[in-house]
Amino acid sequence: MNRLPLLLLGLGVSSGACAADPLSGMNSWVEGRLAANSGSPSAYLFLFLGGLLASLLPCVYPLYPITASIVKGRAASGGARWPHPLAYFGGLTIVYGLFGLIAGATGGAFNAVLRLPAVNLGIAIVFLVLALATCGLLHLHLFGGSQMGDKTPGLPGTFVMGMGAGLLSSSCVGPFVVSILIGIASGGAGGSQLGGTLVASAKMLAFGFGLGFTFLVIGLFGARLPKAGNWMIRVQWLLGALILWFAFVYLEKGLSGYGFESGAIRLVFVGSLLLIFAAYRLQSAEALPGQRTERSLLVLTAVVSALALARGILPNSAVAVAGQSTAPSSAGPRVEQKGKLTWFLDKESALAEAKAQGKPVFVDFFGSWCANCKAFEEMTQTQGELATALAQAVLLKIRDTDPQFRTWQADPRFPELKVGLPFFVIMDSGGNLLYKTSDYTRTDEMALFLER
């Protein structure tokens, strides 16, 4: 059985399984300790403890039996118990060190790359391949033995699996990671550029050690607990479905950046799956499943390439018409209506309105690819208390594709914008900062500042 993508279970539950209140409380604790000890050795201890606390979140739980199953399967040939658990632990923790290294060296540049539509489409393709591999329909050779004919899983494969687990668990413990990266982006590492980059990497590595400690213990002492059986095949297909859902999430991010509507994106996704299924079924049943899947993916690639070529060659009159409608009207400020709420789309108009009415300004930094941004937008229409509080302020929405976004991103008061979205700011009518947060669930705090 192909065990490679089993570690991806954590990704499937990471977006919604974590309870908001425990996560927010634990995150606030870590933020407070870092603020008080940002430059002292004790900060590393708090980061380790923060990672250890994060490993106890409910959304991390599904990774534990999967970790034990992976380690058991890869160490089944006998020998010492510790090499594969340590390799898995090393891969998991090194991911967080790389997070800090990239953040310290590039600031927000790497995050800007991750927002590119093409990058998100590439990630969607990777998840599609992993979903097929999870279901046993595609074989990935990287994670076998190191020599020809050696069927014993190698330590490098276990290390890479640990890196995958680190990436997926980062989605669950995102608020912790964002808090640390914000400190790095705001210059919290200190010293020279090289020294600051190394310190940033060390801080994230300390957090990774704490998060991975539980995985290490389970790998060392719980590797013999799971027993193989038919249930693992059902688990594989369930995981494949979860991974496939994340392929859709990144496909949506990528195609949204190219102007596709939600309905069209769903059609593209379903159509691609049907094309793969049809191409798979039309092949000879005597061929190996992996070979049939590879050919099906080649058919999909050919169809997508032909459509992309046609779109590039044929005139796109629809885009030209749409482009004419985006010009700002001279009759008044640019605004956007969402339900009963009116959002200004430029800072100057919003501040002028705030001064005229004596109201605060609520700023929502929005990205069409940002799932939590869309979730908050929906909350403004469905949560009565939040909508009532927002109605007492002048509302300003800044999209990440708007040239204004770069000006806000360069403001030293908002290093969060170098890390990612969502991000929310409350200012007085003079533009003075009153409140800010990257957590879209903190609606009670937002309402408290808006109602003052």
- CA 295 vs CA 4, 127, 135, 240: distances in Å: 21, 18, 16, 19
Q: Which parts of the chain register pLDDT below 70?
A: 1-40, 58-59, 61-62, 66, 69-70, 72-80, 104, 106-115, 134, 140-154, 168, 170-176, 178-196, 222-236, 239, 314-332
Q: What is the C-alpha separation between 170 and 51, in angstroms, rounded?
A: 11
Q: Are 52 and 211 in contact (CB under 8 A)?
A: yes
* 341-344, strands of its sheet edge to edge: 335-338, 341-344, 394-399, 361-366, 423-427, 433-437
Q: What pLDDT sits at residue 76? A: 59
Q: What is the C-alpha separation between 101 and 95, in angstroms, rounded?
A: 10
Q: What pLDDT sits at residue 442? A: 87
Q: What pLDDT sits at residue 73? A: 64
CA 107 to chain centre: 17
Q: What is the C-alpha separation between 357 and 398, in angstroms, rounded?
A: 21
- The DSSP H or E segment spanning 398 is strand 394-399
What digits encode the pLDDT tens for the residues 238-258?
Answer: 767 777 887 888 888 888 777
Q: What pLDDT sits at residue 451? A: 80
- The DSSP H or E segment spanning 293 is helix 289-313
pTM: 0.59
Burial (0-12, 13-18, 19+ Cβ within 10 Å), 219: buried
Question: Which residues are CB-neighbours of 374 under 8 A, at least 6 positions away?
Answer: none
Judge: domain 335-450, CATH 1.20.1300.10. Answer: no
- Residue spans of the domains in the chain: they are 4-260, 335-450
Q: What is the C-alpha separation between 358 and 351, in angstroms, rounded?
A: 10
Q: Are 196 and 189 in contact (CB under 8 A)?
A: yes
Q: What pLDDT sits at residue 40? A: 65
